[in-house]
């Protein structure tokens, strides 16, 4: 039972709004009244512990729940050590981030995690401790506070599917403590693990094959979907759910605005299934959403659902019973690169048409690449109709982007090249994939010009999509692949480090010079970001459509808001093309500022053109 002061009517009101549903879902899942009581009283504790400034943020955002959907939102993801050494270092670089027009920073995993067995920080040993070399919880709270004062938001990962084998629960479980073993999935023989293996696919088939790890000292198998040192948590145990919710609230109370729920489709397991996207996952995410709305409503959930579109969309929940606030637009991202390699935008157009018909409440996070590999999760049923078979097409894409394919300017490496399924994924920075690395190596200015143009075009296209864009730190100055990970024994097996290199401040220093690659990309992006912020057509409330310009290499995105029309025209071929448009009237070319009569035909070069109608009268 909760004892509340009268002054806590805010909490009571929020609780009253959700209690029935929360209780119903919890009891349906766990049937444990006592644990539910503990959950709600802890929620109250975390609410009380929340700083006044955060409560104020909660209040403002409750009044303006669409705060994160505005066209000034621009994210950037960065590793603290790569970017600025540690948490305190990032505080000193906020002005740089502001100059990139970024108002949301995703701090890549920074919680305590064992060196060499960390999966880039995704194996958390302590959810309440920052890795000592990166700082302390106080530093985190100080950073979020400073960001908030500068109108910036902070995002962090909440790795809830598993813990590190060094987490105190795992350590106790390894000693045979049943209470802690029940928080994971343990088996004393291979019978059940063997059955799981029949239906559960592998995430890291070459770097971490199989879904179980044998612990000889305990003579047990433990479920490890990812690396052997990442032990899957058992959410059938209400203690796991409750404790992880307390961790979530604890982190939210450090001033985090966006919680990225890592690997969320995996959090519920059932024998005989793929152990992905099971209905109970949605129950848990829905409960998490309500818990957040009661304790810390300014905090939003970003789901990491790297799945095909029909599996992704349900993570928004329904408009009445929402789950995640935002999801990665992963299929569009992968399809973008496919379009570049094939100079064919048909699939991309089809994919965007699906996204564009979803309710406007559903907000996607758009990106060109992230810290992970690019998996070729394309719609192969459709591609088959156009003569592209899955295995051979994936091979083509990998050959193309690794630069093996004749004429390809891209550079990068494969990831988890599985000889059985032939299902390799790809690693590389945006600039390297666009040809900046190869042109630099060959010192070929003409190629460099094209590479920079392509890099800017892809960013312009990303800014035009419906949703919120997220940059990867370093991409704003066209940073290329970093091969130094190969010299590090702790990293060399994982080619994702190729595109997770240290930020080059020496190169960033050139960003103000228009004759450098860094300057061209930085200033080019700056113009695009400002346009996106200034023009109302970029608001998430705008209607977004694709527009047929009768050329399978040209993608045209139309945005419409309050009678104003915008066309973004993106040439995915390597030649000049003509876009046929059935519009007339006066338009302004947003890239050049020029007023122009839109006739039937619009000549395209390899550089994006963006036009908007009558915006300056
Ligand atoms: C997510 C992360 C990835 C990590 C995995 C396991 O997919 O993005 O980097 O390897 O989760 O935690």
Secondary structure (DSSP) of 83-131: HHSSHHHHHHTHHHHHHTT--EEEE---EE--TTSSTTTTS-SEEEEE-
> What is the four-CA torsion angle of 310, 315, 319, 323, rounded to 10 degrees?
170
- What is the pLDDT confidence band of residue 600, given thresholds at 50, 70 and 90? very low
- Ligand 1 site residues (CB inside 6 A) read 119-120, 122, 159, 226, 262-263, 304, 371-372
pLDDT (0 to 100) of residue 147: 98
pLDDT (0 to 100) of residue 615: 34
Question: What are 536-548's pLDDT values in tens digits?
Answer: 999 888 999 999 9
- What is the pLDDT confidence band of residue 5, given thresholds at 50, 70 and 90? low
Separation of 161 CA from ligand 1 center, angstroms? 10
Coil, strand or helix: which one is 547? coil
Range in 405-409, 414-418, 523-527, 595-599 the model is least confident about = 595-599
Q: Which of left, alpha, beta for 278 (phi over 0: left; psi -120 to 50: alpha)? A: beta
Coil, strand or helix: which one is 196? helix
Choice among 112, 165, 304, 455 that is catalytic: 304
Q: Is 455 a catalytic residue?
A: no
Residue 613 has pLDDT above 50, yes or no: no
Separation of 371 CA from ligand 1 center, angstroms? 9
Residue whose CB lies within 8 A of the most ligand 1 atoms, among 108, 372, 472, 500, for a mutation test:
372
pLDDT (0 to 100) of residue 614: 39
Pairing mode, if any, of strands 585-589 and 577-580? unpaired
Question: What are 490-528's pLDDT values in tens digits?
Answer: 999 999 999 999 999 999 999 999 999 999 999 999 999
3-state secondary structure 281-341: HHHHHHHHHHHHHHHCCCCEEEECCCCCHHHHHHHHECCCCECCCEEECHHHHHHHHHHHH
Helices 330-342 and 346-356, packing angle to 10 deg = 160
Choice among 166, 262, 494, 535 that is catalytic: 262
Question: What are 284-305's pLDDT values in tens digits?
Answer: 999 999 999 999 999 999 999 9
Separation of 263 CA from ligand 1 center, angstroms? 6
- What is the pLDDT confidence band of residue 2, given thresholds at 50, 70 and 90? low
Helices 330-342 and 390-401, packing angle to 10 deg = 80
pLDDT (0 to 100) of residue 578: 82
Range in 95-104, 116-125, 236-245, 535-544 the model is least confident about = 535-544
Separation of 330 CA from ligand 1 center, angstroms? 14
Residue 605 has pLDDT above 50, yes or no: no
Q: Is 138 a catalytic residue?
A: no
pLDDT (0 to 100) of residue 367: 98
User: Cα(255)–Cα(50) distance, rounded to whole angstroms?
Assistant: 9
Quick one: which atom of ligand 1 is closest to the CA of 119? 10
Question: What are 34-91's pLDDT values in tens digits?
Answer: 999 999 999 999 999 999 999 999 999 999 999 999 999 999 999 999 999 999 999 9
The residue with greater pLDDT, 407 or 411, is 411
Quick one: which atom of ligand 1 is closest to the CA of 122? 12
Percent with pLDDT over 70 in the chain: 96
pLDDT (0 to 100) of residue 602: 52
Residue 259 has pLDDT above 80, yes or no: yes
Residue 224 has pLDDT above 50, yes or no: yes
Question: What are 205-222's pLDDT values in tens digits?
Answer: 888 899 999 999 999 999
**Placement of tokens 């050590």 in the chain:** 81
Residue 317 has pLDDT above 80, yes or no: yes
**Mean pLDDT, the chain, as a whole number?**
93
Question: What are 164-201's pLDDT values in tens digits?
Answer: 999 999 999 999 999 999 999 999 999 999 999 999 99
Range in 179-188, 208-217, 329-338, 598-607 the model is least confident about = 598-607
Nearest CA to ligand 1 atom 4: 122
Nearest Cα to Cα of residue 534 among 457, 458, 610, 423 = 610
Percent with pLDDT over 90 in the chain: 85
| Residue 174, φ and ψ in degrees, nearest 5 | -65, -25
pTM of the model: 0.95
């Amino acid at each position: 039972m909760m004892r509340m002061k009268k002054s806590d009517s805010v909490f009571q009101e929020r609780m009253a709004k959700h209690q029935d549903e929360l209780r119903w879902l919890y009891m349906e899942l766990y049937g444990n009244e006592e644990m539910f009581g503990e959950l709600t009283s802890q929620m109250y504790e975390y609410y009380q512990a929340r700083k006044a400034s955060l409560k104020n943020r909660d209040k403002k955002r409750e009044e303006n729940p669409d705060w994160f959907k505005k066209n000034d939102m621009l994210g950037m993801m960065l590793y603290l050590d790569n970017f600025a050494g540690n948490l305190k270092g990032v505080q000193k670089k906020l002005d740089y981030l502001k100059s990139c027009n970024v108002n949301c920073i995703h701090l890549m995993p920074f919680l305590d995690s064992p060196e060499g067995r960390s999966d880039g920080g995704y194996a958390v040993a302590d959810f309440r401790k920052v890795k000592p070399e990166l700082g302390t919880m106080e530093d985190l709270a100080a950073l979020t506070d400073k960001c908030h004062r500068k109108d910036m938001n902070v995002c962090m990962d909440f790795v809830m599917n598993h813990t590190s084998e060094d987490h105190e629960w795992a350590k106790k479980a390894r000693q045979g403590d049943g209470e802690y073993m029940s928080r994971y999935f343990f088996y004393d023989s291979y019978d059940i693990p063997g059955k799981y293996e029949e239906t559960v696919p592998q995430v890291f088939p070459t770097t971490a094959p199989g879904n179980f790890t044998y612990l000889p000292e305990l003579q047990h198998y433990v479920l490890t979907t990812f690396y052997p040192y990442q032990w899957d948590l058992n959410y059938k145990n209400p203690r796991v759910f409750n404790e992880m919710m307390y961790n979530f609230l604890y982190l939210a109370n450090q001033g985090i605005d966006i919680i990225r729920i890592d690997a969320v489709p995996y959090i519920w397991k059932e024998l005989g299934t793929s152990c992905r996207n099971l209905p109970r996952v949605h129950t848990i995410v829905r409960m998490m959403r309500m818990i957040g709305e009661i304790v810390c409503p300014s905090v939003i959930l970003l789901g990491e659902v790297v799945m095909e579109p029909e599996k992704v969309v349900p993570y928004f929940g329904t408009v009445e019973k929402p789950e995640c606030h935002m999801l990665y637009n992963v299929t569009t991202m992968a399809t973008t690169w496919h379009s570049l390699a094939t100079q064919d935008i048909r699939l991309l157009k089809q994919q965007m048409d699906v996204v564009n018909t979803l309710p406007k409440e559903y907000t996607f996070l758009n990106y060109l690449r992230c810290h992970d590999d690019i998996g070729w999760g394309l719609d192969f049923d459709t591609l088959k109709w156009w003569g592209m078979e899955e295995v051979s097409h994936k091979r083509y894409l990998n050959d193309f982007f690794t630069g093996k394919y004749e004429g390809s300017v891209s550079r990068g490496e494969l990831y988890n090249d599985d000889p059985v399924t032939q299902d390799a994924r790809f690693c590389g920075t945006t600039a390297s994939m666009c040809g900046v690395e190869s042109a630099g190596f060959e010192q070929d200015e003409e190629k460099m010009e094209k590479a920079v143009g392509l890099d800017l075009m892809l960013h312009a296209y990303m800014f035009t999509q419906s949703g919120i864009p997220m940059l990867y730190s370093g991409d704003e100055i066209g940073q290329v692949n970093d091969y130094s990970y190969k010299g590090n024994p702790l990293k060399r097996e994982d080619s994702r480090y190729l595109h997770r290199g240290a930020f080059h401040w020496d190169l960033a220093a050139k960003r103000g010079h228009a004759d450098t690659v860094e300057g061209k990309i930085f200033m080019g992006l700056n113009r695009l970001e400002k346009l996106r912020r200034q023009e109302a057509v970029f608001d998430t409330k705008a209607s977004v459509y694709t527009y047929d310009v009768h050329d399978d290499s040209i993608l045209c995105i139309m945005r419409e808001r309050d009678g104003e029309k915008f066309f973004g025209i993106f040439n995915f071929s390597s030649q000049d093309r003509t876009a046929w448009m059935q519009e007339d009237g006066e338009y302004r070319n947003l890239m050049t500022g020029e007023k122009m009569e839109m006739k039937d035909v619009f000549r395209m070069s390899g550089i994006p053109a963006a036009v908007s109608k009558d915006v300056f009268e």
